[in-house]
């Protein structure tokens, strides 16, 4: 049996860049097929409406990733996909009542407040700055556990489909820093502390950048505030690097590659074979 996983990307988060690649990192996994429908940087109702064409591929389940899942575009897209098991991946909403509405409507969710809002103002952001920020975000998300949290949650649903489970039990995860860092599997407590600090900083980046994007009007205030958010993201990426370097020095980096059949293997010593 081949499990068909459809990824719908509305706009962009740090996780958006890699989410469809997490299931088959060396392109050797059997038993799954992945397709992606993306709308670029925009995530409005027009873009949401276009996702209906992707349903023709008939995925077994879908993963819908966007900033602010309660925005009009992602909300409209969910209406189109409510007849197919769908996991919402986003940086918000974080409030319990809002997440309960997803559950009541039959959607799974992985909410990642650690995936930060970019300083999206023309006075500050150009393509180079955008890529630099997203590189820093990806470093924190990967090294500090958020990426593995997402990957293992999606793998769990793939296993359910392959086993013939119905209905599917979709994830209901609020990926706060403390939860994400547990997925990273750090052996050294100083490394874990640095990673946790990086994740906490990442959650604050959105709080810094939000006024720059939506509140402040004076050019100087906008630019300085957005730049501050990006500097915070850069500091978080440095902490993530330091955390991984500690694990490397101890030869204790946890690696969990996919076997050809799709299950996860594991190793911590660089020169050992994953089992």
Instruction: Determine what percent of the chain is predicted with pLDDT higher than 90.
Output: 100
Residue with tokens 């993306």: 38
pLDDT digit string (tens) for 9-59? 999 999 999 999 999 999 999 999 999 999 999 999 999 999 999 999 999
| Confidence at 113, pLDDT banded by 50, 70, 90 | very high
Query: What's the pLDDT score for residue 35?
Result: 98
- Residues in CB range of 159: below 8 A, 6 or more apart: 262
| Complete edge-to-edge strand list for the sheet that includes strand 61-65 | 32-38, 3-9, 61-65, 86-90, 108-111, 172-174
Measured CA to CA in angstroms, residue 68 lies from 12, 64, 111, 272 at distances of: 10, 12, 10, 42
Q: Tell me how crowded residue 45 is: count the other CB atoms within 10 A of its CB.
A: 14
Query: What's the pLDDT score for residue 202?
Result: 98
- Residues in CB range of 176: below 8 A, 6 or more apart: 113, 114, 203
Query: What's the pLDDT score for residue 130?
Result: 98
Average pLDDT of the chain? 98
Kindly state the average pLDDT of the residues 50-72.
98
Closest to 175 in 3D by CA, of 143, 158, 153, 157 = 153
Q: Which two tokens stand for residue 102?
A: 């997803």
pTM, 2 dp: 0.96
Query: What's the pLDDT score for residue 201?
Result: 98
Instruction: Determine what percent of the chain is predicted with pLDDT higher than 70.
Output: 100
Cα–Cα distance, 58 to 115 (Å, whole number): 29
Query: What's the pLDDT score for residue 31?
Result: 97
């Amino acid at each position: 049996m081949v499990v068909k996983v459809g990824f719908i990307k509305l706009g962009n988060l740090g996780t958006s860049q890699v989410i469809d690649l997490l299931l088959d990192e060396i392109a050797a996994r059997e038993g799954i097929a992945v397709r992606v429908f993306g709308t670029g940087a925009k995530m409005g109702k027009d873009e949401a409406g276009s996702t209906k064409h992707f349903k023709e591929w008939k995925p077994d389940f879908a993963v819908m990733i966007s900033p602010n899942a309660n925005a009009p575009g992602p909300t409209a897209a969910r209406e189109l996909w409510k007849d197919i098991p769908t996991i919402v991946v986003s940086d918000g909403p974080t409030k319990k009542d809002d997440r309960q509405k997803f559950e009541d409507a039959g959607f799974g969710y992985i909410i990642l407040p650690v995936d930060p809002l970019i300083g999206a103002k023309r006075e500050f952001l150009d393509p180079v700055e955008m890529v630099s920020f997203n590189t820093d975000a990806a470093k924190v998300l990967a090294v500090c556990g958020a990426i593995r949290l997402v990957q293992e949650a999606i793998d769990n649903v793939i296993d359910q489909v392959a086993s013939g489970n119905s209905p599917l039990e979709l994830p209901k995860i609020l990926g706060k820093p403390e939860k994400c860092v547990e997925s990273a599997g750090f052996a050294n407590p100083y490394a874990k502390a640095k990673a946790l600090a990086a994740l906490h900083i990442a959650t604050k980046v959105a709080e810094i950048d939000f006024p720059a994007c939506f509140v402040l009007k004076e050019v100087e205030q906008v630019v300085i505030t957005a730049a501050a958010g990006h500097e915070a993201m850069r500091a978080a990426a440095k902490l993530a690097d330091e955390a991984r370097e500690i694990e490397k020095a101890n030869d204790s980096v946890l690696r969990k590659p996919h076997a050809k059949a799709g299950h996860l293997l594991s190793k911590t010593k660089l020169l050992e074979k994953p089992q």
